[in-house]
Amino acid sequence: MNTRSLKVLICDDHELIREGLKRILLDPGNAHRVGEVSNAEEAIAAVRREPWDIVILDLKLGGRSGMEVLKEIKAEFPRLPVLVLSMYPEEQFALRVIRAGANGYLNKNLAAKILVEAIQQVLTGGQYISPKVAEQLVSAVKQPMGQPLHAALSDREDQVLRLMAEGRAVGEVAVLLSLSVKTVSTYRGIILRKLGMKNNAQLMRYAQDHGLDGG
């Protein structure tokens, strides 16, 4: 890793996480400069304002999701590497973010050594995926019908499902996502239909069974 010019942008809404990542990147001299932002709007503004070598992006930023930010960054700067860092287990979200254009996916419960290795791999033109995710990618190609029902949800539908799975009411979800209550209710209806369910109780059980109620 070239430490003389490497610029890393961290996008995470938790200050402690940002500080931890900065220590990993700066203390051993793994990066020349580390920028930090705490929300989606700041992230988009930062990548438009100046060039970065890599973006480390959290999926839960509040308001607009990290997935939306990822897609917007890739639409405007397709060659800018983006490494997604999240509390969600790999089996829940890795395939979705890779398909959306991410160059790698890491769970936040990782060793510092792995983060540095992932950045190095991405910067050399590769993608960082764990053996578990690699198996998922192969399985998804060979047996697309074997994927869980929620894999067919759109990114926004998936986001609404996860927030509802955390026990949030429709009105609260609407505020968090800057949507109208009617729009969230429409998403809820679509989610129920796609998952073949009739009510919130069934939805919550499904979310719990598939580990979608946390992160």
What integer pLDDT is reported at residue 154 of this predicted model?
83
In angstroms, rounded to a whole number, what is the distance separating the alpha carbons of residues 151 and 142?
Answer: 15
The most confident of the ranges 33-47, 79-93, 96-110 is: 33-47
Binned at pLDDT 50, 70 and 90, residue 80 comes out as very high
Domain co-membership, 85 together with 159: no
Whether the per-residue pLDDT at 136 is higher than 80: the answer is no
Whether the per-residue pLDDT at 142 is higher than 60: the answer is no
3-state secondary structure at position 92: helix
- The domain total for the chain is 2
Domain co-membership, 136 together with 160: no
CATH number of the CATH domain containing 38: 3.40.50.2300
Binned at pLDDT 50, 70 and 90, residue 133 comes out as low
Residue 113 domain-assigned? yes
| Residue closest to 12 by CA, chosen among 67, 58, 50 | 58
Say which residue, 64 or 154, is predicted with more confidence.
Answer: 154
What integer pLDDT is reported at residue 94 of this predicted model?
77
Q: Which domain holds residue 132?
A: 7-141
Domain co-membership, 52 together with 13: yes
Whether the per-residue pLDDT at 59 is higher than 60: the answer is yes
In 64-206 the beta strands, taken as DSSP E runs, fall at 82-86, 104-107
Residue 214 domain-assigned? no
> Are the beta carbons of 123 and 83 closer than 8 angstroms?
no
Domain co-membership, 117 together with 188: no
Residue 1 domain-assigned? no
